[in-house]
Structure 1
Amino acid sequence: MSECSEATRNPIQSDFPYWFSEDGHLRHRETQEPYRFPFKLHDARDTEREHRSLCLCITRHVYDLLERKFQLDKVFLEDSFVFMSAGALENPGSLLVLIQDLGTVRSGVWSWKLSAHEGLERGSQIPYILWALRESCAVLLMNPNEGSQTHEQHVRLVWERLLSQSSPEHVFIVAHGYGGLAFVDLLCRQIEEVQRKVTAVAFLDSSHSFWHQPLGNAGRDWLKSHSRSWIPSRKPLNCSVGSLKAGCTQISAGTQCHDSTPVVCMESVFRFFNKMIKPKATPTPFNIITRSKRRASEQNNNI
């Protein structure tokens, strides 16, 4: 059992002196000062205690927002659960699926560090949820760090129990870090179903590998045309950072920070999704008039 999972079941510091303000920033309850992590080099136990308390605070607050503010349903799957829009599986439109990185972050959070130091607008999945709501798009937030299963097992379980039975016309996947590897593992195992249901995949500083995971030619070809990868880089957002071994289009995430990748490249991700569902324009036919054709036309006119 992970630290944060244990903390959610057995609170260890109920007097945690910080809380989230209305604007989504962690503040001290008395002084209103921003959060500062009190790392203690010679006291590992106290440092771990602070980490667990912080994780519990962020997790509880975000879970409350998901259920109370965004009206998402908590759907239990064995010893874990996910959050999902009401009627998401029956929604004939689009479904946005978010898969976070390996670690202690829970459903609704990309990074507990960014959430604590820069606010939920930067560290949580709330901006993605807001985009989905504006676009009348359903959402499903995976929770692979909750429970006893591995990332790969959780993603497969959510697919088999929920997504494989869903009816949206378009399913969009956003996978951060190890979440990308877990999705590619699913593709390797359920390639025909995934190809049939998933419209596009956004890999955000993903840990997946086109060459070390058993994709096969069919899987690689599908990812080449249905996915894009945002890579931490010094280059401006959307600049090419591709290589011959990339396997799919690689562009700069506009940041060198792994944790910041989801929020910095979010608009670019959604432009990619919108592009994938727009019908491709039919090439406009045009005639190329050669010198011989022009001469023959002039002769016919003279006749």
Structure 2
Amino acid sequence: MLEASQSPIQSDFPYSFSEDGHLRHRETSEPYRFSFKLHDARETEREHRSLCLYITQHVYGLLERKFRLIRENLEDGSFVFMSPGVLEHPGSLLVLIQDWGTVRSGVWSWKLVAHGGLERGSQIPYLRWASLESCAVILTNPNEGMRTQEHHVRLVWECLVSQSSAEHVFVVAHGYGGLAFVDLLCRQLEEVQRRVKAVAFLDSSHSLWHQPLGNAGRDWLKSHSRTWILSTKPLNRSVGSLKAGCTQMSAGTQCHDSAPTVCMESVFRFFAKMIKPKAEPTPFEIITRSKSRANEQNNNADH
């Protein structure tokens, strides 16, 4: 089990992060390369666990120092990172739910961080957007603690999100995080419908048909969510079939780990669209339509 929350950052790790967020060897400045020892599987696993721990510790430090997020302990032994005063924040609230596995708060994929840097594999670009938009954040941590991801997401909702003053709640769910959110929707349908403005599913594991949503839950997701799936098509092209039950767009990548970063701008455009007031027809438009109908009726009468 990863113990990043309890250990000081590793000073003996041979790599460190450069100013541009890439892992470089401390002596040679070479980029990180995964090593696979065919005859020593335990050593390979140990090295990868060490890498995961180092990345997690580094990101935790950035969350606290650079973005001023605070760590909030939950009753099941897990914790989350969130904006100071998040419960009193009256504007928008962004909730990030990552995939299952060994990833922790602030990270979509530690492997992608190792290969492509913090801008590609971490949640830092999302935090930067939230800061620019004066949006509060809660970074869930569903792989921390001893309970299931579904339990963690429900606990975050009950203890934090449902208690917040946010006018709009936006959710971004990656992989299994999507299934955990839909599990929450199944259990607390009315409250989630009332509080959540929009959900972005990124190569999500959820199912509209195999999870006990019911018609009301499926109808709500159809109008309040969008799913980006792995595809060879360019980003944001329509994909999927009518059986999908909701809008499905191309993620612009075939890499599961890359989906959150590649889709980010599209996700935020979707959120902005969901809170944009619908334009009322102008008197001119109403008159024009009325005149068009009258002219059409007169023309039909003439014939």
User: What one-letter code is carried by the residue in structure 2 that aligns with 1:81?
Assistant: F
Q: CA deviation at 1:41?
A: 1.9
Distance 1:114-1:69 versus aligned 2 partners, 3 A rule: same
Q: CA deviation at 1:87?
A: 1.1
- Give the secondary-structure state (helix, strand or coil) at the position aligned to 2:71: strand
User: What one-letter code is carried by the residue in structure 2 that aligns with 1:278?
Assistant: K
Distance 2:253 2:131 in 1: 26
Structure 1 match to 2:192? 194
Distance 1:265 1:281 in 2: 27
1:250 aligns with 2:248: yes
Structure 2 match to 1:293? 298
Structure 2 match to 1:77? 74
User: What one-letter code is carried by the residue in structure 2 that aligns with 1:31?
Assistant: T
User: What one-letter code is carried by the residue in structure 2 that aligns with 1:73?
Assistant: I
Distance 2:209 2:109 in 1: 28
1:51 aligns with 2:48: yes
Structure 2 match to 1:113? 111
Equivalent in 84, 87, 105 of residue 85 of structure 2: 87
Is the CA contact 1:24–1:121 (under 8 Å) kept in the aligned structure 2? yes
Distance 1:295 1:224 in 2: 40
1:42 aligns with 2:39: yes
Structure 1 match to 2:128? 130
- Give the secondary-structure state (helix, strand or coil) at the position aligned to 2:87: coil
Equivalent in 63, 67, 70 of residue 66 of structure 1: 63
Aligned identity (percent) is 78
Distance 1:160 1:11 in 2: 31
Distance 1:226 1:204 in 2: 14
Q: CA deviation at 1:242?
A: 2.5
- Give the secondary-structure state (helix, strand or coil) at the position aligned to 1:290: helix
Distance 1:129 1:9 in 2: 24
Unmatched 5+ stretches in structure 2: none
Distance 1:13-1:71 versus aligned 2 partners, 3 A rule: closer
Q: How many residues align?
A: 294
Is the CA contact 1:170–1:199 (under 8 Å) kept in the aligned structure 2? yes
TM-score (norm 1): 0.93
Unmatched 5+ stretches in structure 1: 297-303
Structure 2 match to 1:233? 231
Distance 1:10 1:226 in 2: 41
TM-score (norm 2): 0.93
Distance 2:91 2:144 in 1: 29
- Give the secondary-structure state (helix, strand or coil) at the position aligned to 1:179: helix
The range that moved more, 248-257 or 280-289, is 280-289
Is the CA contact 2:234–2:252 (under 8 Å) kept in the aligned structure 1? yes
Is the CA contact 1:177–1:205 (under 8 Å) kept in the aligned structure 2? yes
Distance 1:292 1:277 in 2: 39
CA deviation vs aligned residue, 1:168-216 (integer Å, no higher than 9, x gap): 0000000000000000000000001100100000000000000000000
* Aligned alpha-carbon RMSD (Å): 1.8
Equivalent in 141, 144, 156 of residue 146 of structure 1: 144
Distance 2:47 2:176 in 1: 25
User: What one-letter code is carried by the residue in structure 2 that aligns with 1:77?
Assistant: L
User: What one-letter code is carried by the residue in structure 1 that aligns with 2:49?
Assistant: R
Distance 1:202-1:12 versus aligned 2 partners, 3 A rule: closer
Structure 2 match to 1:183? 181
Distance 2:131 2:35 in 1: 37
Distance 1:56-1:280 versus aligned 2 partners, 3 A rule: same
User: What one-letter code is carried by the residue in structure 1 that aligns with 2:230?
Assistant: P
Structure 1 match to 2:257? 259
CA deviation vs aligned residue, 1:37-66 (integer Å, no higher than 9, x gap): 111122111011111110111001000000
Which of structure 1's runs of 4+ aligned residues deviate more than 4 A?
A: 7-14
Is the CA contact 1:12–1:53 (under 8 Å) kept in the aligned structure 2? no
- Give the secondary-structure state (helix, strand or coil) at the position aligned to 2:156: helix
Distance 1:11-1:71 versus aligned 2 partners, 3 A rule: closer
Distance 1:295-1:33 versus aligned 2 partners, 3 A rule: closer
